[in-house]
A and B are shown apart, each in its own frame.
Chain A
Amino acid sequence: MEPETFLQSTIKDTIINISHDYRYMKTGYYVSMHAEILGDAVIPSSKNIIEANRTPILLLKASKAGIPTLPYLVTSSVKQIMSELTFPLVTFAVNPFSYDGYRIATNRSSLYRAVKSLSMNYKFAVCAQPMKGEMISIKSIFGKCEAPAVKRVSEKVYEVFKIPLCKLHVQSVGNEILLCGLQPLKKEEVLPEDLRNISEKISELSKTGGILIG
């Protein structure tokens, strides 16, 4: 069913909300919100959508659930980041507008540039984390991903936040995979083989009933 049709409906069922973009106030978010207002069980919930897309909350909840994460700092002060963390660093935006990517800072001037840009001229905060290894960005579809090393973290993130389609940012440090961030996919990043995986998962889920929105 198309999202616009569902938003006009009063369907009572289990809803699986499929969207490449679950950002707050986008159609993917409103589908989950509408399902909850109707009293339907829905994947993902509107609360999980907000929490998974706010990096500090993602990391807080993930670490509580036993997913390996790094220490993080929420601030717009470069001085504070430098006094509490050591280079190199990875910074994520915590503002209402940026939702794509991260910035790596290896020294003071690159950190200033990263914070100035991600905080929109220090108006908002950023989430800074130490960079201990290599950054990996990978698609996660119903908790499944292509990199075997990231499999466990990807599955666990899905178990906690239930976001069917997303991009995970992780750090590979030795044998360990540490969660750093979660972001929406761009439409062009969803490939035909991903659609096949989605359909497989959907048919598996629909055996237990439910309506697919997407």
Chain B
Amino acid sequence: MANIACFVERYNFTDQREEKALQNFKRAAEQMGHNFGFMYRENISDIPKYDAVFIRATTDPLFTSYIVSKTADELGLKVIDDPESIQICGNKIHQYALFKKHDIPHIPTIFVNKTDIHRKRLMGIFQELGKPVVIKAPYTSFSRYVEKAACETSFREVAKRFFRKSDILAVQAFMPTAYDWRVGVLDGKVLYVCKYMIPKGRWKHGAKLRGKPTFIWGRTVSMKRENAPATLKELALKACNMIGHGLYGVDIKEANGKYVVVEVNDNPSIYAGYEDLRDKDLYGKIIEYLTD
């Protein structure tokens, strides 16, 4: 019997589907004979009392979740997400540099720093990647901090905002598709596969309504992992192997019959009735990994 701590923040319980998924994890752990408790920021000092830590709060090397991950790792506990995965997945510059090094097919990407923001260089970028381009802050998550720019003025405006936190940004070719594949991977094996549909008239799975703070999300269409294309799954596993052996959600675009990786996310979303719809065993598999 193992004691599993699930590190969460209050916002993890604001969406009913996420709350239900968290309860599903708890039920799966208890059915397997383990204790599963929710750990909040105030209980971080209790980490040594547990055997494994499962992080569901948003991860980033600058967030409390990284402190939790690193503390658990230093104490020799099994942890999802591990600090190395947070470091690589939490910074898209790091990730794309690794994609280039390991020849992982990905969206054409250029890195820019503040000295690149001049007319000649920007024209060169538009020439190389076409118009519009997608500017991505390294700390992007949940479709935020990813914006399109079709001219020098909007490029400068977006870059100026994103440079406040990072000295390097990623600029990518714009590849509109009806959906992005999401392949859930755990310990080098495919856990679930689904399609994140892009809302009509938008270009990202999550899009902000003009002038409003609310986000609208596209539908999630699930399929049995066995039924997903083999080449898709191979590419997802190849991208994850370059990072580690934890839990990842790989976003892949399909264009002209070819697959290209958009990004690999640690701490992938798991909402009841969405990612788990066709592969209900994902809860048990994650608990099994944590207690192995």
Contact = CB atoms under 8 A, between A and B. Distances in A.
B42 A4 contact: no
- The size class of the interface chain A forms with chain B is 20 to 34
A96 interface: yes
Contact of B63 (A33, A51, A96): A96
Contacts of B84: 47
Contact of B42 (A25, A46, A75): A75
Interface stretch (A55-63, A154-162, A182-190): A55-63
Interface string B111-134: 101010000000000000000000
Contacts of A77: 41-42
Interface string A172-189: 000000000000000000
Contacts of B139: 25
B67 A94 contact: yes
B241 to A, nearest CB: 16
A54 B66 contact: yes
A204 B138 CA distance: 36
Contacts of A124: 63-64
A80 B64 CA distance: 17
A57 B47 CA distance: 14
Contact of A74 (B60, B62, B64): B64
B41 A30 contact: no
Contacts of B41: 74-77, 125
Interface stretch (B22-30, B90-98, B184-192): B90-98
Nearest to A33: B94
A51 B69 CA distance: 12
Contacts of A95: 62
Contact of B67 (A4, A30, A37, A125): A125
B101 A37 contact: yes
A164 B87 CA distance: 21
Given A75-B44, A80-B42, A24 B61 contact: yes
Contacts of B66: 50, 54, 57
Given A33-B94, A74-B44, A24 B70 contact: no
B74 interface: yes
A5 to B, nearest CB: 10
A74 B45 contact: yes
Contacts of A74: 41, 44-45, 64, 67
Nearest to A2: B115
B168 interface: yes
A196 interface: no
A103 interface: no
B165 interface: yes
20 contacts: A4-B113, A24-B62, A25-B138, A25-B167, A27-B113, A33-B94, A33-B97, A37-B94, A47-B83, A50-B87, A54-B66, A57-B71, A60-B74, A61-B74, A74-B45, A76-B41, A77-B41, A94-B64, A125-B41, A125-B44
Contacts of B87: 46-47, 50
A57 B71 CA distance: 7
B291 to A, nearest CB: 24
